[in-house]
Each structure stands twice: as C-alpha cells, then as structure tokens.
Amino acid sequence: MRTDVLQVATRGSKLALAQTAWVIERLRERFPAKEFETRVIRTSGDDARQERGVPPGKGIFVKEIEDALLRGEAALAVHSLKDMPTELPPGLAIAAVAAREDARDALISKTGARLGELPAGAVVGTGSARRAAQLLAGRPDLRVEPIRGNLDTRIAKLRGTRESPVAYDAIVVAAAGCRRLGLAGTITQLLPPGLMLPAAGQGALAVETRHDDDETTAIVAALDDDATRQATTAERACLHGLGGGCRVPIAAYGRMADGALLLRARVCSPDGREIVESQASGPPAEAQALGTALARDLLERGAGPLIEEHSQEG
C-alpha cells in the first residue's frame, strides 16, 4: 500500500463504489495535489447468506471498514449514513456529512402503477421493517414480502430477470440509491414523507476518519454540508434516544423550514396498525438536543411498549 496515497475504504457493491467515486471526485476538485485510491473491504453485510437470512443488523455494513480505519489500512471511509450505528467506535469520527440526495423512498412497480393503484393483494418487496410497517399502515390489503440483495439485484428480481422465490408486483427502495446509480428512470413514484417517513440519515453520505488524523480530517471537512449535518444529527439523536433495536420500525426526518430545523419521527408496530408520531422544531445549532427531546416525547406518547416488544428481535 502506497503511503503517499489516501486510501478510501468502502464496500464493493455498485452503489457503494458509485458513492465513493462521487466523494473522491469532489475531494480531487478541492485538493488536486492529493491522490486518492479506493480500497474495497468486504463486510458481514455483504455475505451472500444475507440473501436468505433475516435483515442485517445495524452496523453490519460498516464494522469491518471501521476496523480497517483503526488499523491504519485506510485514511477515510465512505458510508451511507443510515447504515451507521448512532455510537461510533472510540477513535473514529464523522468528519463530513455531504449534501443530501433525495431522502425519500421510491416505489418501483412492474406495470407502472402507483402505490394507490396497486390491486389488493399485490406483492410489494422490501428489506426494511420501517418500509413494511408504513406500507401496511397505508395499504393493509397489500402483501409485503422480504427482498434481499443490492439495488440492481432487487430490480432484477422485480422484473423477473433474476431467480426469486417470490413474484413481486413492486418494490420500495431508497430514491437516493436509484439516482446515484443512474436508475432514476426506473422510479414509478416518489413516496412523500407523510406516507413513508425516511430512515434517519437516509440519502446522506458520511465520511469517517480517525480522530488523531488531523490532516485527513481537515481535507474531508471540505465536503461537510451544514444543513445536512444538522438535520441528520437531529435524526440520529432521536434514534439513539429511542434506543430501539435494528428491527424496530423507526423513522426520523429533519429539514430546514424558515430558518428552523423541523424534525418529525415515527415509531410503528411491524404490521402498521399502531403508530406513535410527533414532531418538533428548534434552532439548527441545537440539533442534538432537539432529537433527544423528540425521542423523549415519543416515549411519553407510548412508543416505549412498541420498541420493547420488538427490539429483542434486533
């Protein structure tokens, strides 16, 4: 490994590589004298057995990458922020949260039907308990089935071009992933947050560095987007305050409105029949406190039993 090149750790999926290439391109624009090189690291979440098993737990896509950072095998790492646990390992820091892509979820249907147009009993695939619960809350007549694999694999399963034990009528995925892979044209419908509240950090890229690597941290900090950082800080603080397991359907989404940070969060039962929701607003500079306060409010409104009942599964 060349010591004069900044190694950028990432997963090897098409989406992860596209996201890393996006980050490297922007770092090269700002620091043309620096050299960057992609270093692919296989994570537990990339294990093919996840195709047939339960949904991967929080942090399963980042642990091995963070271990490589701590060992000095890479100078920085690029992650989808929604995949990162709310607590980082000692010695690591999120040096930048890049400007957010579309945070919404997207419906891709086989026939071009929108969510409200799908017939009763239509099979919708998702690997997310959060998406499944909110789908069932709005359309309890749908049949929601798990689907595994990277984004292109899921689209192939929908179209029937890849073997699947289930014939899907539609799938729900992150809009940001579609856009970053040049697949925006496959999206049938962008689901509004009122219907499908995003996951904390969805659509945002985090660049992680070592605490003691001041030079790399200073370079990466040039990509930090203040509005995205504040919004996702509030979202992750709320998620942390709720303390739910990774299988609990929890959604949190922050956005700027008239100079204030508006944060909305939702906790659901897996079948979508029970929903506890609340929102709060405050100064962007107090994002962490805003998220913590909203989590407390949700617990007071009755989210605790929903979280306790299902967190043991995560």
User: Which of 103, 314, 128 has its CA nearest to residue 225?
Assistant: 103
In whole angstroms, what is the distance from residue 229 CA to residue 99 CA? 8
Question: Coil, strand, or helix at residue 79?
Answer: strand
In whole angstroms, what is the distance from residue 83 CA to residue 203 CA? 11
Contacts of 296 by beta carbon, 8 Å cutoff, 6+ apart = 241
Number of residues that this document lists for the chain: 314
What residues form DSSP beta bridges with 108?
171
Own/partner contacts of 311-314, CB < 8 Å, gap of 24 or more, are 311/243, 311/244, 311/245, 311/247, 311/248, 312/245, 313/245, 313/247, 314/57, 314/58, 314/244, 314/245, 314/246, 314/247, 314/248
Residue with tokens 């962007």: 284
Among this protein's residues, is 212 annotated catalytic? no
User: Which residue type occupies 297?
Assistant: D
> Catalytic one among 46, 83, 169, 213?
83
Please give the positions annotated as active site.
83
